Amino acid sequence: MTTTAMLRAFCDAVEQRNGRAFADLFTDDGVYHDVFYGAFAGRDKIAAMVDDWFYRTAMDFRWDMHDPVSNGTTLYARYTFSYTSTLPEANGSRAMFEGVAIMTLRDGKIVNYHEVANTAPAFVDLKFAPERIAKIVGKQGAELKARPEMKRHRA
């Protein structure tokens, strides 16, 4: 499967609430590190993340990957991601954010998926109170700083 085809299958599976198809893009021991929900290890948990976690408070997903770059073992792609929130305080608002997907590949499958995303605009779109946004964004920043693989990039 080409990189473009894999990324389209990746996005389509989320948009179609097809966790099994999404999980099949990963190795048996694959891990998806979600910017909101944390790590999901193994295909069963990755499938449940899409089918249960993503759709628990959202619908009408749209995910597009842009400008992928890969050396065969690492894949980077910018993305835009949006959804309609089903949270009561969002009143059906649509949220959108941008990020970068970072994937480690083995034998054409995803071993690890990480992302770096600017999620604050999505929370504003959802009409979250400023105090709630600060708490969520602060927690994400602390988690990012705690990740061992990020320490080598700090000056």
Query: What one-letter code names the amino acid at 38?
Result: G
β-pair type (26-34, 38-41) = antiparallel
Q: How far apart (Å, rounded) are the C-alpha atoms in residues 93 and 6? A: 30
Question: Which pLDDT value is given to residue 78?
Answer: 97
β-pair type (109-118, 26-34) = parallel
- Would the pLDDT of 146 be above 70? no
Residue of 79, 81, 50 whose CA lies nearest to 65: 79
Residue of 42, 50, 38 whose CA lies nearest to 9: 50
Question: Which pLDDT value is given to residue 132?
Answer: 62
Question: Which pLDDT value is given to residue 93?
Answer: 87
Q: How far apart (Å, rounded) are the C-alpha atoms in residues 20 and 13? A: 8
Q: How far apart (Å, rounded) are the C-alpha atoms in residues 80 and 97? A: 6
Question: Which pLDDT value is given to residue 154?
Answer: 37
For residue 63, give the H/E element and its range: strand 58-70
For residue 38, give the H/E element and its range: strand 38-41
Write down the domain spans for the chain: 3-151
Question: Which pLDDT value is given to residue 149?
Answer: 45
Confidence band, pLDDT 50/70/90 cuts, at residue 144: very low
CATH class of the domain at 3-151: alpha beta
Q: What average pLDDT does the chain have?
A: 85
Q: What is the mean pLDDT of residues 107-119?
A: 92
Structure-model confidence comparison of residues 141 and 47, the more confident one: 47
Confidence band, pLDDT 50/70/90 cuts, at residue 19: very high
The pTM score is 0.80
Q: How far apart (Å, rounded) are the C-alpha atoms in residues 108 and 119? A: 29
- Would the pLDDT of 136 be above 60? no
pLDDT in tens, 51-62: 999 999 899 999
